[in-house]
Amino acid sequence: MEQTFIILKPSTIQRGLVGDVLTRFQRKGLIIAGIKMMRLSEEILKEHYAHLVERPFFPSLLKSMMATPVIVAVLRGKDVVNVVRAMTGATNCRVAAPGTIRGDFGMSGQENIIHASDSPENAEIEVKRFFSPDEIFDYVPLTLPATYAPDEL
Ligand code: IDP
Ligand code: MG
């Protein structure tokens, strides 16, 4: 089954929203294949946000992402990359649709609660960037046959 990678950003830790955000993914029927707390280094952030390093807001983004440890997780499910991006919502929380995580929990463009991989290719790269193979678990939740039709599995 497809995997995606998420970061619960420092603003989410600071504001006590970790449970609320994770609950949404669990209620949706996604499998948590890996989860841990870690501090992000400048080095890993420059790699992860390579597409933004030249932007004027990058120093502020770096500082924000290093303000506290973060929670990183690998979620598994059918078409999970697109499902999680849709649940995440637009980058700026003030524009993100109500019902999305950013739309419901935030007010900022930078402090926008969560990172989620934007393509299956990037998801694979990001999972490898933040997790070692022994930190990701293969198991079949008992709820799986009630979550999908047989031909979807
Ligand atoms: P995404 O997180 O929705 O994929 P990206 O464009 O990849 O959006 O940007 C990565 C992160 O950089 C955003 O989630 C946000 O925290 C931050 N960011 C993006 N654009 C801006 C901006 O214009 N001002 C401040 N922070 C920004
Ligand atoms: Mg992005």
Tokens 């999305």 belong to residue: 100
Catalytic residues: 115
pTM of the model: 0.98
Separation of CA 117 and ligand 2 centre (Å): 7
pLDDT at 133 (0 to 100): 97
Distance CA 57, CA 71 (A): 23
pLDDT at 72 (0 to 100): 99
**Pairing between β-strand 3-8 and β-strand 31-38 as defined by DSSP bridges:** unpaired
Find out whether the beta carbon of 122 lies less than 6 Å from any atom of ligand 1.
no
pLDDT at 94 (0 to 100): 98
**Cα separations (Å) of 53 from 47, 57, 58, 60, 62?**
9, 9, 6, 11, 9
User: What is the position in ligand 1's atom list of the atom closest to the CA of 115?
Assistant: 2
Of the listed ligands, the closest to the CA of 60 is 1
pLDDT at 34 (0 to 100): 98
Count Cβ atoms below 10 Å from residue 123 Cβ, excluding itself: 22
Find out whether the beta carbon of 61 lies less than 6 Å from any atom of ligand 1.
yes
53-70 average pLDDT score: 98
